[in-house]
């Protein structure tokens, strides 16, 4: 058996722990400052919508390999808190005109004929009659929305059913994990899934990591069966956008949002909140039965800080203080929709390390 300590209990750490537990041959401890059930802006996962709107500019295995697993869970596992929803993307003319499209989430999501048109079911470009005023084009496809308040505890439960042990701890240095396996043994491998705080964790201190502030409003009102996302907004800054998604199993409807890079402010801004609600009601009048934002029944205003990383996600192995560390952090706004693909890569790296260690012990 290999001894593994996973640092982090967000969607990245929990999915890795579950994948490694399913694989067998590993004794796994998950240690984290925050656990499912906590709400703290520096713990991103509970704040996510979360849905699947592919963002990579071209096919990548993170999003490509995650979709089949989330689809399978939505089809066969109601207790995971995932349901299917149609996603409708609206493009503004100025965004279509600019090279590569403007807008905070625009890298790959809003391009015409994207790679994911062959992956996401039912992808179609909508006829002009279904494109609202002010928008130049629209596309729709079948996606999912994840109720994170159900899915994260479900991941914990799946891990516990396979013998994974959970412990609270705040690490100053990634090598502190060497003393934290519940077995008392020094771990063979540490998985670093510390998200945004990887910029402050000793031994990692990744200065490419910064928050992409996401402000949302969670309401009791129900949307149409469709999730909506626009390529930009006319009444706000470039780092604001309009999206609506209804979480599975009574999780409320998430109205978004912002994608403000480098902004650590965890307090909801009332002006932004008003703009978010106004846009949502305009984009989806069914939310309030045609009434204004005063008909929205707010559960809470919230801010989550996405773990954005300049240059992209970091998934690689590194030997730190004599122990192998596999990093898996910096997922920005796609941590759920890339979670399984990333966990599969982490598993490959763990397998490589295990075979290297075995070779070493024979010498």
Contact set with ligand FAD (CB under 6 A): 7-13, 32-34, 43-45, 47-51, 169-171, 193-197, 201, 214, 216, 257, 304, 306-307, 329, 331-337
Closest approach, Cβ 148 to ligand FAD, in A, equals 8
Closest approach, Cβ 331 to ligand FAD, in A, equals 4
Q: 210: which 2 tokens?
A: 């910064």
User: Which of 305, 286, 303 minimizes the C-alpha distance to 295?
Assistant: 286
Instruction: Decide whether 191 or 350 has the Cβ nearer to ligand FAD.
Output: 191
Closest approach, Cβ 195 to ligand FAD, in A, equals 3
Q: Which DSSP helix (H) or strand (E) runs through 356?
A: helix 339-362
Instruction: Decide whether 296 or 333 has the Cβ nearer to ligand FAD.
Output: 333
Instruction: Decide whether 265 or 356 has the Cβ nearer to ligand FAD.
Output: 265
Measured between alpha carbons, how far is 251 from 358 in angstroms, rounded to an integer?
47
Closest approach, Cβ 359 to ligand FAD, in A, equals 31
The DSSP call for residue 51 is B
Instruction: Decide whether 278 or 301 has the Cβ nearer to ligand FAD.
Output: 301
Closest approach, Cβ 239 to ligand FAD, in A, equals 13
Instruction: Decide whether 50 or 350 has the Cβ nearer to ligand FAD.
Output: 50
Closest approach, Cβ 297 to ligand FAD, in A, equals 20
Closest approach, Cβ 37 to ligand FAD, in A, equals 11
Measured between alpha carbons, how far is 199 from 196 in angstroms, rounded to an integer?
6
Instruction: Decide whether 99 or 230 has the Cβ nearer to ligand FAD.
Output: 230
Give the other-Cβ count within 10 Å of 100's Cβ. 12
Closest approach, Cβ 225 to ligand FAD, in A, equals 17
Strand order in the sheet with 323-329: 165-168, 26-32, 2-7, 189-192, 323-329, 314-320
Question: Is residue 18 helix, strand or coil?
Answer: helix
Instruction: Decide whether 135 or 229 has the Cβ nearer to ligand FAD.
Output: 229
b/e sequence 307-328, b meaning 16+ C-beta within 10 Å: bbbeeebbbebeebeebbbbbb
Q: Which DSSP helix (H) or strand (E) runs through 16?
A: helix 11-23
User: Which of 232, 281, 276, 271 minimizes the C-alpha distance to 257?
Assistant: 276
Instruction: Decide whether 200 or 291 has the Cβ nearer to ligand FAD.
Output: 200
At a CB cut-off of 8 Å and minimum separation 6, what does 216 contact? 47, 49, 254, 255, 256, 257, 276, 301, 302, 303, 304
Closest approach, Cβ 217 to ligand FAD, in A, equals 10
The bridge status of strand 82-91 relative to strand 226-230 is parallel
Instruction: Decide whether 252 or 333 has the Cβ nearer to ligand FAD.
Output: 333
Q: 16: which 2 tokens?
A: 């890795």
Question: Is residue 345 helix, strand or coil?
Answer: helix
The bridge status of strand 2-7 relative to strand 189-192 is parallel
């Amino acid at each position: 058996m290999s001894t593994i300590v996973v640092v982090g209990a967000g969607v990245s750490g929990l999915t890795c722990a579950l994948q490694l537990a399913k694989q067998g041959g590993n004794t796994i401890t998950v240690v984290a400052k925050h656990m499912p059930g906590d709400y703290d802006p520096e713990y991103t996962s509970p704040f996510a919508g979360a849905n699947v709107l592919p963002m990579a500019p071209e096919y990548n295995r993170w999003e490509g390999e995650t979709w089949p697993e989330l689809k399978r869970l939505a089809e066969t596992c109601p207790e995971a808190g995932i349901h299917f929803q149609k996603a409708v993307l609206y493009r503004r003319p100025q965004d279509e005109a600019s090279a590569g499209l403007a807008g905070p989430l625009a890298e790959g999501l809003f391009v015409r004929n994207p790679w994911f048109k062959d992956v996401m079911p039912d992808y179609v470009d909508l006829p002009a009659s279904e494109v609202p005023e002010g928008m130049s084009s629209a596309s729709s496809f079948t996606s999912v929305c994840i109720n994170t308040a159900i899915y994260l505890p479900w991941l914990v439960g799946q891990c516990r059913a396979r013998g994974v042990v959970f412990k609270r701890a705040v690490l100053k240095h990634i090598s502190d994990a060497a003393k934290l396996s519940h077995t008392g043994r020094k771990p063979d491998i540490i998985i670093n899934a510390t998200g945004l705080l990887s910029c402050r964790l000793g031994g990692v201190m990744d200065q490419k990591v910064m928050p992409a502030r996401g402000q949302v409003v969670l309401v009791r009102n129900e949307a149409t069966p469709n999730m909506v996302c626009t390529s930009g907004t006319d009444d706000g800054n470039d780092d604001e956008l309009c999206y609506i998604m209804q979480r599975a199993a009574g999780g409320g409807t998430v109205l978004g949002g912002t994608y403000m890079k480098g902004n650590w402010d965890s307090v909801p801004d009332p002006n932004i909140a008003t703009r978010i609600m106004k846009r949502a009601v305009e984009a989806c009048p069914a939310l309030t039965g045609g009434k204004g934002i005063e008909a929205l029944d707010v559960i809470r205003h919230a801010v989550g800080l996405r773990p954005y990383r300049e240059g992209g996600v970091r998934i690689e192995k590194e030997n730190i203080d004599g122990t192998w560390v596999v990093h898996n952090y910096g997922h920005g706004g796609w941590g759920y929709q890339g979670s399984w693909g990333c966990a599969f890569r982490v598993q490959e790296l763990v397998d490589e390390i295990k075979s290297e260690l075995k070779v070493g012990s024979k010498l």
